[in-house]
Amino acid sequence: MYRTVLAVFLAAIPLSSHAMDADEIVRNADLARGPSGSYIWKVSISHSEPGKTVAASGYEVYVKGPDKVFVKFVSPARNTGRSLLALGRDVWIYLPDAGKPLRIPLAQRLVGQVANGDIARTDYAGDYSATLLGTEKVNGVECYILDLKAKAKEVTYSAIKYFVARETFHPVKAEFYAGTGTLLKVGTFGEYREFGERIRPTKLILEDAVRKGVVSTMHFGDLRVRDLPEKYFNKNYMKNLD
């Protein structure tokens, strides 16, 4: 009996320290994607399918801490007046035609391959438990391979296979999975440049894993760090920001 308990205890030590490392890597990668604190950035999304013209849309994303995001739809004209609010894992959309905020799922598509959660909830460290699987070279960069499992049902993806650069903690690639284990899409981070006093990816390409050539590209630009009023992150205030 003693031996069994000891064996389990000893086996658990490397596992738990490994898990801690993995979470640390994900936290560092989160910080590379966006600063902590309060800021605004502009995001444009272009979506293309084989044989189809490219559709583009623009957003202004207001972030306050890891749990509060307000997204203003800027273009095209048919979308202006709409907005999205994410408080933790709760998301609402304000539609001028409805005149009220409506509850929507994080995983619901915003545009193209981009889910609401891709723009409104990027706190992987908060939403997923990470396990370090090993290392691998991706596009010539030595990367940690992390297995991210959703901590709760109310997140955008059930699982993510995350590739983070070993040296810089820059996210390089992510594979997004549904609860069934089906690969939904593959994301590639790119165009790193100095942005908010740090080198960050300014482009995320999301490719549909099933329909070849169906691609959405998120461009991140014009990041401004500034304090934002608390009222922006209240669903009853969404109409005021229309």
Partner 1 sequence: MGATGADMEWMGDNRFRKSLLSICIAGVLLLVSAAVWGEANDEERFLSGDRGLRLRGRLKEEVAVGLDTPRRFSKVKTIGWLDAKQEISDSVTLRMSGRGWWDGVYSLTDRYPENVARDQETELSLREAMLSVSHGPLDLRVGLQQVVWGEAVGTFVTDVVNPKDFREFVLPEFTDIRIPLWMIDAAYAVGDNAVIEVVWTPEVRFNKLPESGSEFEFFRPPLPSGAIELGSERMPRWTLRNSQGGVRVSRNVSGWDLSVQYYDGFDGVPVLSRRQTGFLPDGTPVYSLTPGHHRLHMIGGTLGKSIEPVVVRSEFLYTVGKRYGTQDPLDDDGVVRRDTLDYLLSAGGLFFGNLDATLQFSQKILGGSAGEIRQVGVEGRVTSTFSLRLASLFSGEKIQTSAMISVNADRGDYRISPRVEYYPAGSLKVAAGADLFGGPPDTLYGEFSRKDRMYTEIEYRH
Judged by beta carbon, residue 19 or residue 228, the one nearer partner 1 is 228
Q: Which residues neighbour 159 within 8 Å (Cβ) at sequence distance 6 or greater? A: 128, 147, 148, 149, 150, 176, 177, 181
Judged by beta carbon, residue 175 or residue 242, the one nearer partner 1 is 242
Interacting residue with partner 1 among 7, 12, 52, 193 (CB under 8 A): 52
Judged by beta carbon, residue 28 or residue 46, the one nearer partner 1 is 46
Residues 113, 207: contact at Cβ < 8 Å?
yes
Interacting residue with partner 1 among 38, 44, 129, 234 (CB under 8 A): 234
Based on the shown chain and the rule CB under 8 A, indicate whether residue 96 belongs to the binding site for partner 1. yes
Q: At closest approach, how far in Å is the CB of 171 from partner 1?
A: 23
Interacting residue with partner 1 among 31, 55, 133, 145 (CB under 8 A): 55
Interacting residue with partner 1 among 18, 27, 33, 42 (CB under 8 A): 42
For partner 1, how many residues bind (rule: CB under 8 A)?
49
Interacting residue with partner 1 among 77, 167, 181, 194 (CB under 8 A): 77
Based on the shown chain and the rule CB under 8 A, indicate whether residue 98 belongs to the binding site for partner 1. yes
Based on the shown chain and the rule CB under 8 A, indicate whether residue 45 belongs to the binding site for partner 1. no
Interacting residue with partner 1 among 8, 97, 167, 197 (CB under 8 A): 97
**CA distance to 86, 92, 108, 184, per residue, from 103 (Å):** 10, 4, 11, 23
Interacting residue with partner 1 among 4, 16, 53, 180 (CB under 8 A): 53
Judged by beta carbon, residue 21 or residue 154, the one nearer partner 1 is 154
Q: Binding marks (x or -) toward partner 1, 100..139, rule CB under 8 A?
A: x-xxxxxxxx-xx---------------------------
Q: Which residues neighbour 136 within 8 Å (Cβ) at sequence distance 6 or greater? A: 142, 143, 145, 163
- Binding residues (CB under 8 A) for partner 1: these are 40, 42, 47-49, 52-55, 60, 72, 74-78, 80-81, 87-91, 96-100, 102-109, 111-112, 153-155, 224, 229, 231, 234, 236-237, 240, 242
